[in-house]
Chain A
């Protein structure tokens, strides 16, 4: 199993967690991101995730490798849902296991933060009022490594 992957189906947490079990490890930490019912003052009814999967898997894998290198965790992985999700659904799962808990917590935090800002995944929110829209990450502008592309129109 790839350490970073996308899933069109609901995640089976026992399986995700099972991949991280290791006799070397005494600490396991995980993070779950859930679909919440509001964003920026609007009531959200459901949402859709879409990903550029080929590049997303490569970038996700790089993030996991960075986390393992930086924090010395024994194992780490991340699964992100794509497709249509309802309120309360699990949208993203991150787990890390390590000999001690500090590294596992730190690796989890690093992975989710980097995934949110680097992996090409887009979220479309459907609002209670019938409107919908693609959500833009607030940190993307400062992270973009390119000047804005000039529009011709």
Chain B
């Protein structure tokens, strides 16, 4: 089991009611972690998301390590 810090922004922050949380999880990848949290919270449909691991754009299928931080990034809308 890994301890992962998950931060939420925008639609996900509002939906979960959380800015961030520590998650103890057996998920090996960001994709598995997303699926686990989606099952818990029932995330809204947002189109394609990107993911950041330790404050850099990451790969959904790379292995997570204990202590990693993860952010799910809904489609952006700056400008």
Query: How many positions in chain B have a CB within 8 Å of any CB in the partner chain?
Result: 32
- Does A119 sit at the interface, judged by CB under 8 A? yes
| CA A124 to CA B9, docked complex, whole Å | 12
B-chain residues with CB within 8 Å of residue A50 when the two chains form the complex: 9-10, 13
11 contacts between A and B (CB under 8 A): A51-B78, A52-B9, A52-B52, A55-B52, A80-B79, A122-B78, A134-B10, A141-B75, A144-B48, A146-B48, A146-B60
CB contacts between A and B, total, < 8 Å = 110
Give the complex CA separation of A120 and B71 in angstroms.
11
Kindly identify which residue among A91, A117, A145, A151 contacts B76, using a CB–CB cutoff of 8 Å: A117
Which parts of A45-99 form the interface with B (CB within 8 Å)?
49-52, 54-55, 58-59, 80, 91-92
Give the residue name and chain of the B residue nearest to A125 (CB): B77
A120 touches B9 (CB 8 A): yes
B56 touches A55 (CB 8 A): yes
Do the beta carbons of B76 and A118 come within 8 Å of each other? yes
Which residue, B7, B34, B50, B76, has most C-beta atoms of chain A within 10 A?
Answer: B76
Inter-chain contact B77/A123, CB cutoff 8 Å: yes
Do residues A135 and B77 form an inter-chain contact, with CB atoms below 8 A? yes
> For the complex, is A115 an interface residue (Cβ under 8 Å from B)?
yes
Contact with A along B40-79 (1 / 0, CB 8 A): 0011001111111001110110000000000101111111
Who on chain B is nearest to A31 by CB?
B79
Is B60 within 8 A of A136, CB to CB?
A: no
Nearest-neighbour CB distance to chain B for A89, whole angstroms, equals 13
Q: Is the CB of B38 within 8 A of A121?
A: no
Instruction: Contact check, A115 vs B48: say whether CB atoms are below 8 A apart.
Output: no
The answer to whether A24 has its CB under 8 Å from any CB of chain B is no
Question: Contact between B48 and A134 (Cβ–Cβ < 8 Å)?
Answer: no
